[in-house]
Amino acid sequence: MDSADQDRLAAASPEPAAPYADPASAANDENAEETRIRQSLLERPSFTVKTRLALIFVSIFIISAAIAAAGIFMFTAIQYRIRYISLADRLSNEIQHARRIEKNFFLYNADLAEIAEHLDTADQLLDQAASELGRIVGVEELEGIRLNLDEYREVAQALQARSNDEHFRQSDDFTYYSNRFRYHGSIALERVLYLSRKEREQVVKGIRRMTGIHFVLLGVMLVLFVFIAYHINRHIVLRLNRLMDATQRFAEGNFLPIRPKRKYKDEFSNLAIALNHMMYEINKRQKILMESQKLREIGNLTAGIAHELNNPLNNIILTADVMRERYDDLERTEIDEMMEDLVTQGERAQKIVQNLLDFARQSEADKEYVYVNDIIHETILLAKNQIRMQTIRLETKLKKTLSPVYGDRKLISQVFLNLILNAIDAMPDGGTIHIESAESDVQGYISARFTDTGAGIPQHLIASIFNPFFTTKATGEGTGLGLSVSRGIIEKHGGNIKVESVEGQGSVFTVSLPTVSIPAGPEAAVEDDEARM
């Protein structure tokens, strides 16, 4: 390796981004952060979901009890009034019977003795109403009815006592008593009917009032249930969704911890603490695995470099030893052959170093607006001889209206050429290479597909083909860096490269690159023409 190559390798080697970080110190920082977040979650005042739900159900019980109590109270009041209406109806019946006897007395001179029985029954009903319903009906009103009935009874007795006196019937006294008899009977019946009608009106009003109160309480219940639904959604469902989002973030590799967001702590706070602890533990183990993987990759890389360089160096050493020991006895032709072998092995080692430099270099690509179809045509021209020599048929299907990509023409061509050469190597007895360009399934990307009908790649090796120094070719036929370099180039351009293969049927390599829009204008048009040249 000359000084120029040493300079290139040194320049390509990545510089450490930061001083060496002590793993123990990093772990302590993570533990301190976890402890700080845990304390912030626990230091809030406690107001658990259980307490909230208990308060809600107590509120529901209180409102339901209020509705039931209001209904019982109003139903009892209506029941009392209905009982008075029943007594009033019976009382009016007794008075109406007395009034019929009164009518028969004046028309047919009937006996007034039966009036006393009906009036006695009326007194009993009044006593019952006064004792049971006086606070609802009113004692004064009942006493007024009783006074009218007493007057009615006295006049009836006076008329009954002198009913057989013809002279009395013709006198003004009879007219006076008759008028009083009719008046007190009429007033007593009217007052009873008035009170009955009044109580019926009160019953109707009470029913309406009870219905209105129940509707109001039902409205309050509706508001309460809406509040309960809102509360459950805010304090339970949304919290669960937040925790589900956090677990989804953890699954995607985003280990941002759950921090306190509400004023109070509850059962979800303990769950958040458990999830944070799980996240920190997973993150620690993932870092350990990543470090182990890095060490493994470094080991594989070192082993690959040692293996690839060891063969040509051994050949150089052995040839040099032979020349040193037998130089005087060798013919000129033998010396030339050995020198040629030294040069060949040296070039092989140089090629290995060159591939390693290409794999490790971090220099910026010379990017411009380019068209994938143009690069495909240029690459096919480079590989035309190899394709012809291997009796391979080449098919292309290139979409003409593809948008340009912003990238390095030479690097992208290097990727395409490597894929074509790999396809040629996979078909030593001939076959078909199909190259297709089209818009990708992902919006804003285009894809170039390289399909061959070769031996294919075993499924258990597909995951390793992009690893450095991994190759399925025989020793000395490949360095195992081609696909690794190709993937690095495509990823630098913001794209990706994927492989699909069936052993015995062939392989498909798909390169996806992001497209760009060329600004309109004369300069863009010139650049477009140059890109298509």
Average pLDDT over residues 385-389: 80
What is the per-residue pLDDT across 326-357, written as a single tens digit (0 to 9) for each?
Answer: 877 778 888 888 888 888 878 777 776 766 66
- Highest average pLDDT, of 120-134, 350-364, 458-472, 502-516, comes from 502-516
User: What percent of the chain shows pLDDT beyond 70?
Assistant: 75
> Residue 11: its pLDDT value, please?
42
- State pLDDT tens for residues 72-127: 887 787 777 787 778 778 888 888 888 888 888 888 777 777 888 888 888 888 77
Domain 72-210 - what CATH class? mainly alpha
Q: What is the pLDDT of residues 261-272, one digit of tens each?
A: 666 666 667 777
Mean pLDDT of the residues in the chain? 76
In 3D space, the residue among 133, 136, 152 whose CA is nearest the CA of residue 190 turns out to be 152
Strand order in the sheet with 445-452: 392-398, 431-439, 445-452, 506-514, 496-502
**Does pLDDT of 526 surpass 50?**
no
pLDDT in tens, 140-149: 777 788 888 8
254: pLDDT strictly greater than 60: yes
Instruction: Select the CATH number that applies to the domain covering 363-531 from these four: 3.30.1360.120, 3.30.450.20, 3.30.565.10, 2.130.10.10.
Output: 3.30.565.10
> Contact at 8 Å (CB) between 457 and 505?
no
Residue 446 has a pLDDT of: 92
Length of the chain: 533
Predicted local distance difference test score (pLDDT) of residue 41: 61
Nearest partner of 159 among 214, 81, 104, 201, judged by Cα: 104
Please state, in angstroms and as integers, the Cα–Cα distance from residue 370 to each residue in 230, 413, 448, following that order.
Answer: 57, 11, 14
Rounded average pLDDT over 365-379: 87
- pLDDT for the residue 374: 92
pLDDT at 300 exceeding the cut of 70: no
Query: Rounded to two decimals, what is the model's pTM?
Result: 0.38
pLDDT higher at 296 or 461: 461
pLDDT tier, 452 (very low <50, low <70, confident <90, very high otherwise) = very high
CB 407 within 8 Å of CB 457 = no
In the chain, where are the structural domains located? 22-43+262-358, 72-210, 363-531
